[in-house]
Amino acid sequence: MLSPRDLLERNDPDIFSALTGEETRQASGVEMIPSENYTYPEVLTTLGSVFTNKYSEGYPGRRYYGGQEFTDAIERLARERAKQLFRCDHVNVQPLSGAPMNAAAYLALLHPGDTVMGMDLSHGGHLTHGAPVSHMGHLFDWIRYKTDPESEGRIDFDVLRQAALERRPKMIVCGYSSYPRDYDYRPFKDIADEVGALTLADVSHIGGLIAGEALANPFDAGFDVVTTTTHKSMRGPRGGMIMCREEFRKAIDQSVFPGLQGGPHMNQVAATAVALGKAQQPEFKRYCQQVLANARALARALLDGGAELVTGGTANHMMVMDCVRSFGINGRVAENALDEIAITCNKQVIPDDPNPPLRPSGVRLGTPAATTRGMAESEMEALGGFMLEALRKPDDEPGLRKLKDEVQALCAAFPVPGIRS
C-alpha cells in the first residue's frame, strides 16, 4: 500500500515537487524570521490527521453537530494545558490565526467607534493594533503610542498616561511584532486602572517564551485578556488563543463563535494541544532560555561588527537592524542578499521609517527557529559574521556563493525536526 506521501507524489506531482522543494529550502538554509519556527513532527502528523474532516461548531459539551467524543476531548485538553501554562481562568483555542484572534477579542469587549490605545506599527506594534490599513484601524478610534528614541526605544509612560487621561480609552493594548525589548506590564495596567480601561496584551511573538517562564506573564500584572498565536515561539500549528479572566469568558467565547468564526479547525486544535503538552515539559524551559541567549549572542556579533540595531540590542528573541545606517542599503536589498546566502529574514520598517514598507530601512531577525535545530551561541556568532559579510558586499556574487556554501555546511549539522534529510 502506498503511504500518503507516495500517493501525493503519484497523484499530484506539482504539489509534491513544491513540498519537497520547500523541505529542502527549510533544511539547507536557516529561518531567522522571528515569527517563524520549525514545528514538532507530532504537530505535523496531527495537522494532517482525520480531525480535519470534522465540523465542531460550539464548545466541548455544547456542539451543533454530532460525533464530538474525541474533538471534545482534545479541545478540553488544549484549554487545560494552556490554562496551566499561562496561569489564567479561561482559554479559547479556536481562533484561526492572529488577526481574527485579536478581532474577536476586541469585538467581545468593545463597541465600534470606541477609543483604544495600541503601539504604532513602525515602532513595533502589529497591524491589528490600530494600523490604518487594517479593518481594525477603522473600526475603532485609535491612539497610537510610540517608543522614545531618547531612551533606546523604551516607552515613555508619562506621555502614554497623559494621552490616556486626555482621550480616556476603553482598552489599552500592548504587544509587539517588531519590538526588541520586553514589556513592563505594570505601568500599562496602572494607567488603565486610572482611566478605567481594560488591558489586553498581544504576546503572539513571545507566547512560547512566557509559557516557558523566560519572559514576564501579563496575567501576573493583572491583565484582563492575553492573546497569542501558537506557531511562533510556541512551536505549534498556525493558530491563536484568547486567554482571559473568568468574567470575560462568555463574551470571548461568543465573539469567537458564533460572532466571528464558524467551524473551528479541529486538526489545528488537536495540534495546539500537542504543542502545549510539549511546552509543559522541562526541555521547553531550556529551549526558551536558549532562544534568549542566542538572540543576545547574535545581537552582540552584529553590534561588534558595526551594525546598528533599533533599541541598541535585544531583550527578547528578535532584533531589528537598521540597514541604511549600517550598510547604506535598504531592507529589501538586505533581505535579498541574505536570501542569496540561505539565511531567511524579513525586511522591516524602523520607527517613523522615511522609507516605504516594501523598501524599508531595516530587516528583522530572530532566533526561535535556529534554536529549535539545536544551534547555540557559537552558531549565532558564525551566522552573524556571514550576515555582516553579505550585507557589506550585497552585489558580490562569487562572495555570496561562497558564503552560501558556508551557511549550508553549518545547517547540515543541525537537521530540521520532521524533515527527512
Residues catalogued as catalytic: 55, 57, 202, 229, 232, 238
Closer residue to ligand DSN in complex, CB, 203/391: 203
AA identity, residue 91: V
**Number of Cβ within a 10 Å radius of residue 338:** 27
Closer residue to ligand DSN in complex, CB, 240/264: 240
Q: How far is the CB of 229 from ligand DSN (least distance, A)?
A: 7
Q: Which residue is nearest to ligand DSN (CB)?
A: 35
Closest residue by Cα to residue 59 from 45, 49, 48, 73: 73
Dist CA 28 CA 184 (whole Å):
38
Closest residue by Cα to residue 344 from 418, 420, 408, 295: 408
Closer residue to ligand DSN in complex, CB, 99/376: 99
> Quick check: 37 binds ligand DSN (CB under 6 A)?
no
Q: Which residue has the cell 505601568?
A: 187
Closer residue to ligand DSN in complex, CB, 97/408: 97
**Number of Cβ within a 10 Å radius of residue 96:** 18
Residues 6+ apart with CB under 8 A from 90: 79, 83, 243, 244, 245, 246, 248, 249, 252
Q: How far is the CB of 200 from ligand DSN (least distance, A)?
A: 15
Three cell numbers written together for 277: 503538552
Residues 150-179 that bind ligand DSN (CB under 6 A): 177
> Quick check: 317 binds ligand DSN (CB under 6 A)?
no
**How many residues make contact with ligand DSN (CB under 6 A)?**
4
Q: How far is the CB of 241 from ligand DSN (least distance, A)?
A: 14
> Quick check: 35 binds ligand DSN (CB under 6 A)?
yes
- The answer to whether 214 and 285 are in contact (CB under 8 A) is yes
Q: How far is the CB of 318 from ligand DSN (least distance, A)?
A: 9
Q: In degrees rounded to 5, what are phi and psi of residue 244?
A: -155, 170
Paired residues of 117 in beta bridges: 143, 172
CB burial of residue 104 (10 Å; 0-12, 13-18, 19+): buried
Q: How far is the CB of 203 from ligand DSN (least distance, A)?
A: 12
Residues 373-392 that bind ligand DSN (CB under 6 A): none
Q: How far is the CB of 34 from ligand DSN (least distance, A)?
A: 7
Q: Which residue has the cell 511562533?
A: 232
> Quick check: 233 binds ligand DSN (CB under 6 A)?
no
Among the listed residues 95, 98, 169, 180, the single contact to ligand DSN using CB under 6 A: 98
> Quick check: 126 binds ligand DSN (CB under 6 A)?
yes
Which helix or strand (DSSP H or E) is residue 244 part of?
A: strand 240-244
Q: Rule CB under 6 A: which residues touch ligand DSN?
A: 35, 98, 126, 177
